């Protein structure tokens, strides 16, 4: 990590926190902090990505504003996380996409969706685009299966490769190195899948203000597991297509449709709730500069989920063709934006959890 104003401010904050230690049992950050007497930039990058933004330390801190020390770890850690995403992004020229990320994600979503719509209209007759298609292969009468696979597959693989390389850079520079893997990896996996550090020890975190709640943790679970169910739906549908020779759309009670429906509802509920919490939440422990990127990605996830559910509802009507093109456009925009958006925080945070488990 490079020396920046955020790094200097975080170092000042943690030197005070390390002397006070009132918050030592609040989350994974403070036990990791207490193992250190100095805070080089690389360690601050690690600690910032270990932070889950529960804000408990902010509301309990006797040195937060209006105290002259003005301690605000959630805000400064959010700034450092963004800087780490920029520094380790791959390919490096695309790291600039993190600047004004809300605008970038919004423009990408609108542009890619428009291109898919225009391309579908140009290569398909109005009768096919606006016609009613039923039975196996109905979707592919509008957009050929090979075209869908090529577009979605290539963008998704690129996103995975870009995220993997950027996190590997972070791990290498932040001191991941060699060491025990088995138990720390399992512990990090358990912590990540249960969002342990958003549990507040059982009583919840400060999702909106100084009061305690588990709403943000529950909404994150709904969004995350909803996304995983949709991904599982796609994998099962792939097996149906290539393994069983069955073409979409499938029956309403089939495994791919049930998984996709439940997942889409989970994503819709999670994204809607998280947007609402950002609107009504206390702005003090939040980096306002980064809010646009958070809103843009949550709205894009919401659009992917909602258009998928709408497609299920209208798949046997003349609205299916247009809805399919719109849904595919939003899905492609999500895959393109993934490595250069707030969504990479999950991978960085998991790497930080593995290192924290090793240190413990």
Using CA atoms, how far apart are residues 80 and 289, in angstroms rounded to an integer? 12
Phi, psi (degrees; rounded to nearest 5) at 104: -60, -50
Question: Where in the chain are the domains?
Answer: 5-88, 97-359
Cα within 13 Å of Cα(130), Cβ side: 4
What pLDDT does residue 257 have?
Answer: 97
pLDDT, one tens digit for every residue, the chain (360 residues):
899 999 999 999 999 999 998 988 788 899 999 999 999 999 999 999 999 999 999 999 999 999 999 999 999 999 999 999 999 999 999 888 888 788 888 898 999 999 999 999 998 888 888 999 988 899 999 999 999 999 999 999 999 999 999 999 999 987 665 666 788 899 999 999 999 998 877 788 999 998 999 999 999 999 999 999 999 999 999 999 999 999 999 999 999 999 999 999 999 999 999 999 999 999 999 998 899 999 999 999 999 999 999 999 999 999 999 999 999 999 999 999 999 998 999 999 999 999 999 988
What pLDDT does residue 202 have?
Answer: 74
What pLDDT does residue 180 have?
Answer: 63
- By the 8 A CB rule, do 12 and 80 touch? no
What pLDDT does residue 176 have?
Answer: 65
Is 97-359 in CATH node 3.30.1340?
no
What pLDDT does residue 173 have?
Answer: 86
Contacts of 75-78 with C-beta under 8 Å, sequence gap 24+, read 75/284, 75/285, 75/286, 75/287, 76/6, 76/9, 76/10, 76/13, 76/48, 77/10, 77/47, 77/48, 77/51, 77/53, 78/48, 78/53, 78/286, 78/287, 78/290
Using alpha carbons, select from 345, 333, 327 the residue that is nearest to residue 274. 345
Using CA atoms, how far apart are residues 175 and 351, in angstroms rounded to an integer? 11
What pLDDT does residue 305 have?
Answer: 98
Q: Which pair of tokens denotes residue 51?
A: 């932070």
H helical segments located in the chain: 5-20, 29-33, 41-50, 56-60, 73-88, 101-123, 126-129, 145-173, 182-194, 215-243, 255-280, 291-314, 320-337, 345-359
């Amino acid at each position: 990590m490079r020396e920046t104003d955020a790094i200097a401010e975080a170092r000042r904050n943690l030197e005070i926190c390390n002397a006070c230690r009132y918050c030592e049992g609040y989350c994974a950050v403070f036990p990791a902090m207490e193992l250190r007497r100095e805070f080089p930039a690389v360690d601050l990058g690690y600690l910032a990505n270990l932070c889950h933004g529960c804000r408990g330390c902010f509301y309990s801190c006797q040195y937060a504003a209006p105290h002259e020390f003005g301690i605000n770890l959630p805000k400064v850690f959010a700034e450092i996380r963004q800087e780490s995403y920029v520094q380790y992004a791959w390919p490096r020229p695309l790291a600039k996409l993190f600047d004004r990320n809300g605008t970038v994600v919004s423009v990408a979503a609108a542009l890619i969706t428009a291109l898919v719509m225009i391309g579908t209209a140009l290569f398909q007759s109005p009768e096919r685009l606006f016609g009613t298609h039923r039975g196996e292969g109905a979707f592919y009468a509008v957009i050929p299966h090979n075209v869908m696979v090529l577009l979605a597959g290539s963008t998704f693989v690129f996103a995975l490769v870009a995220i993997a390389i950027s996190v590997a850079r972070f791990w290498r520079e932040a001191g991941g190195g060699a060491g025990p893997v088995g138990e720390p990896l399992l512990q990090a996996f358990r912590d990540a899948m249960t969002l342990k550090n958003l549990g507040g020890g059982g009583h919840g975190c400060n999702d909106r203000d100084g009061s305690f709640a588990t709403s943000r943790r529950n909404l994150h679970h709904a969004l995350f597991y909803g996304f995983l169910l949709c991904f599982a739906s796609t994998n099962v549908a792939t097996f149906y297509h290539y393994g069983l020779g069955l073409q979409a759309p499938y029956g309403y009670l089939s495994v791919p449709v049930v998984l996709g429906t439940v997942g889409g509802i989970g994503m819709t509920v999670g994204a809607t709730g998280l947007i609402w919490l950002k609107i009504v939440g206390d702005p003090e422990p939040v980096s306002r500069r980064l809010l646009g990127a958070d809103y843009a990605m949550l709205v894009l996830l919401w659009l992917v989920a909602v258009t998928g559910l709408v497609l299920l509802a209208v798949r046997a009507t003349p609205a299916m063709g247009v809805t399919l093109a719109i849904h595919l456009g939003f899905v492609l925009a999500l895959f393109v934006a993934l490595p250069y958006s707030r969504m990479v925080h999950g991978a960085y945070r998991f790497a930080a959890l593995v290192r924290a488990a090793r240190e413990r």
